[in-house]
Amino acid sequence: MATSTGPDPAADESSDRPAKRPRLDSNGEVSRGHRHIAAVILARGGSKGIPLKNIKMLAGVPLIGWVVRAAVDSKVFDSVWVSTDHDDIESVAKKCGARVHRRSAAVSKDTSTSLETLQEFSKLNPDVDVICNIQATSPCLHPHHLKEAVEMITKHGYQSVFSVVRRHHFRWQEVKNGVTSTTALNLNPAQRPRRQDWDGELCENGSFYFATKELIGQGILQGGKTAYFEMQPEYSVDIDVDIDWPVAEQRVLRYGYFGKDKPELLRLLLCNVSGCLTDGQVYMSAGAEEMLSVNSRDLTGISMLKKWGMEVILISSSENPVPKPLADKLSQKTGCELVHLTEQKQVEVERLMMKKKLAWEEVAYLGVATADHLPPSRPIYCLLYFHTNHLHVHLHYIHKPSLRSTSSPSTRQLHLQHSLPNISTIPPQHMSKPSQPGLSGFISKPLHLHCPSD
């Protein structure tokens, strides 16, 4: 027998049904027309494509955590649920702030449909009038998407609302046995339109489906007075296979919803010249003279940080020697102060912080070699990406003593050391190694810094 459990301050913990929290009208009185609207995120444990995909870490957050956060922060749902048959998913769901519908074995099979699970949920929770099935694989969902969709239900009387995205794809008939030619399905080849002259087609993106309990009871998600809610393409992320994961991470970093809390602010970046601004390559001239290479993207990134108000100090040290003329030239080129550190790095860094009246939460230390590491008492590192208009930082818990820097033609990745009071409470077995090569730790908590566009 399925049960529905989960934390809800407004309900008796022993009750399996969501508490009815009356909505107040503009006069502060209970609205008689209020209906209980519940968000239900389906997260079965037996994912065939990616094992326990629903709680795999995506950009520092369990996959279901992204949609749970959007649903909770939208404040349009009377209850937010995760429907699962797995103990670990249940544990993560509760930590993310959702209640749990522990589905029965009958609707947990490989052949079970989403509608069957929603029907079971509806029978167990008859007080719920409207159910929003939110797909866990849509991590770029934002609260405002859900708010606008709910208004279509509550203000305009729609019985079902689902999300779509506009696509500009020409479709053709599949060629099967016995067929020698294909035919266009949505195109006249003789009058092939330009993209800007064609409105495209509306396709379901799977982010969410609203339906009344009456429709769900009839076995349909889309019926009655039906409407679609169009989402922009950048918010449409669908994770089907493992190869999509790194792509989804990049999309989430730029377009995901990171919560209502104000992002933490870094005010000072301490950047080691050797190994950070130099790219590890040594060139030899005909006269056996050594020459070092500098990546111009790093200098561009530093200029962006300074433009956005972050102070950057370049560091040279005896452990990672770099020719003084080069260090001086980079200091002059970037307009950054150059400081020489000795073996007592932590003491000198903290002295510098005290001078500038900064706390560890406001400072990032950038180094790539073992000698650059501060003592183990601060085992938190950041992975920083430079983009055109955004700066994204990820915190990683590092288990090994060394860390290698990585770079790509389009993005320079810098490893920063950053103090954080609490590491994520997600059990280690649910943490996944980051997709970027060279890292030896696990994503623990995201830190998102949104920098203004030009």
Name the superfamily (CATH) of residues 3-255.
Spore Coat Polysaccharide Biosynthesis Protein SpsA; Chain A (3.90.550.10)
CATH of domain 268-449: 3.40.50
Phi-psi label, residue 249: left if phi above 0, alpha if psi -120 to 50, beta otherwise:
alpha
Residue 203 phi, psi (nearest 5): -120, 140
Q: How far apart are CA 101 and CA 181, in angstroms?
A: 50
Q: How far apart are CA 83 and CA 44, in angstroms?
A: 7
- Residues in the chain, pLDDT under 70: 1-33, 48-49, 240-243, 261-265, 279-280, 318-322, 343, 367-454
Quote the pLDDT of residue 243. 56
Residue 167 phi, psi (nearest 5): -120, 145
Q: Are strands 160-167 and 130-135 parallel, antiparallel or unpaired?
A: unpaired
pLDDT tens digits, residue range 64-89? 999 999 999 999 999 999 999 999 99
Closest CA to 354 of 100, 90, 424, 346: 346
- Which entry of 171, 192, 351, 404 is annotated as an active-site residue? 192
> By three-state DSSP, how is residue 167 classified?
strand
Quote the pLDDT of residue 200. 93
Q: How far apart are CA 320 and CA 273, in angstroms?
A: 9
For 308, 312, 330, 342, 382, the CA distances from 339, given in Å and listed in that order, are 22, 11, 12, 10, 22
CB of 31 closer than 8 Å to CB of 25: yes
Sequence-ordered strand ranges (E) for 213-355: 226-231, 268-272, 278-284, 290-294, 311-317, 337-341
Closest CA to 243 of 435, 379, 395, 70: 435
- Domain segments of the chain: what residues? 3-255, 268-449
Q: Compute the radius of gyration of the chain from its Cα atoms.
A: 26
103 noted as active-site residue: no
